[in-house]
Structure 1
């Protein structure tokens, strides 16, 4: 059973997410709804139970650390696990900074405790359980967490902080199987702005924003639920928000080393570039098993993200690719070999390596060559696209997709340390991957630290 905690679950977006999750998963979900109003929580819980969901209501205030930690404790005590945490609780504010008097400025800190620290405390308490379940974290931020606008200095500060915190956390926990989805709603038909702070730190009593084009709470909740279940990085909900996000990223890239016509100048996300430069998690996980000082071969290495990673750890490296321009960027990193390994002769005849790395590349006639290139005691790391990928993107041709178990059959003489065949998010793809060794004869079992 999936166990999901939703803060701010008594009203608005949180309550609607609970109803949609209950309607979708019915007996397959247990909801832990947190909010300040027991009466409102009970009303939402009744609606969810009508769909067959189990529900635990916890009256609490996320501005108090002890109550945040107690919420997680109650969820685990009630259901034994946590699969998702939705940090939805929040308050709004609308005031020009110059209109806030010194004696009232403390409410900026109060707002930060609700919008940022409440999410931080809940996430910190739930994280060990989410790591165990390879679960999902959702942070409901705001378009004000992407773009600052007049009258929203306090609110934007909390939401920018929230956005930055969860963006950094995403990078920390991704390799452990936990997804972090940050949602950026615009104006939504809830009462959050009516209850938000004015310049004196008292309830506004009305919305300070134009509500004509407000998104329905049902649509907003649906988009967040969908993003959470698909393990999306971000859910930016409005056309204006997406345009603002794009222009901001594009503007950040101007004047960079690529110039206006380069990748940054076209508004590509710096995070996307970082992902392309970073080694795959499979390589990071098993790379330390390569014998110290052993030479690593990377086939179809491209611009050498894995060569650089191994070279930085003291390994001599050899990169093979037919793209001479890409290989030129590896000058000083290690040995490079420009060769068409699909149509030309094998360029490494007679050579063996402490590790052979093949990623996002498949040419079946090379399986025997790859196998013979692994030295005694050496490691093979092979990850590429598998059947099913045609449903989410490219490559989609069957020739470029591995059949179930194909890598296991390709390297029969190696000892298999790990094998996986399945779906990975961010970006969505189907992969098959293997980590295997050519064992040396030994009187005692070899130990491979996993």
Structure 2
């Protein structure tokens, strides 16, 4: 699996290494050129020294009174002698040498022109019909030391220039990609329900097609969600109205029939129509839950919504619900309609399948934990794991479609939350509990 890296980091490191390498290559090339030029200067100095000393040495040798024996040129004062010389005849006999000259450095026979030994660079020149030779020697170590000092002199500015170049590269890369980073953060920070277009006019030209494609995708997704919501609303109206009409007609027919067996059959039809009406409503809720739209683009306070839902159930089950609400608002990006459907299904499930002798506890905490708990028999673990599936029911005599918990779980998944189902309930020996935390949605989007 390929490791993904930041474009800013890749450009920064790549350009930094590239500039550093170019600097070093430039220093090496400059050092080689400087060394070549210095060798030419040193060779010229050797040649010039030999040509200056040779006439003086020849005059001194020819004017000697005691023959042609070897003499050492005196030094005016102690000093390091980088250039040393020997004057010899054509047979190699020493005639004159500088005070620090070492005859072993030179060859056994003198020669003209430039030559090298393992330790020295030599230059020889002759006079008096090739009978007197003068050779000047320079240590190669001196040349290497000079080349090294020149290379260090070229390298020293890099100690300052390379860090300055690195900082400059990182600053330019960061400045150049600032709009791209802002674009990335704007997409990353928006909630799952925010389908508004992203800003594209300030991006670099290379990234503008990406923003255009993202906006087109968001627009298509927005239209699809709106179409799904419209279809769900229209379907609910179109299905419920005929069912309600048929149910009303059956109820009127029931009141006009005096035959008891026929009246019983009509009652069964009435119950079937009522069950079909409830089932159609549940299926529409499931379609809405699975079709998206569980998140809204702005946060909403869910406390009054939950209070209104519980008041509606009070008419159906007076005194069975114990409601606990926080004193402050609990804001969440969970869509109010989606939360209403989720809460209704969880409370309805608790009222239907819970013990009628024990209250149904409904609570919403300050931190966004919504909990519905009822008494009753313990649901075995193998059945508890299946309750999230469609039309799945535990062993119970209560009526129901088996869609309530599936709808609640679909809404939770669509909103990026987790619906926890427990049996026995927390802190009890029996019962059933459903719990969901809406705080991550509220906190995550608020911080962004």
Which protein has the bigger strand share?
1
Same fold per superposition (TM over 0.5): no
Q: TM-score, normalised by structure 1?
A: 0.20
The structure whose Rg is larger is 2
Q: TM-score, normalised by structure 2?
A: 0.20
Which protein has the bigger helix share?
2
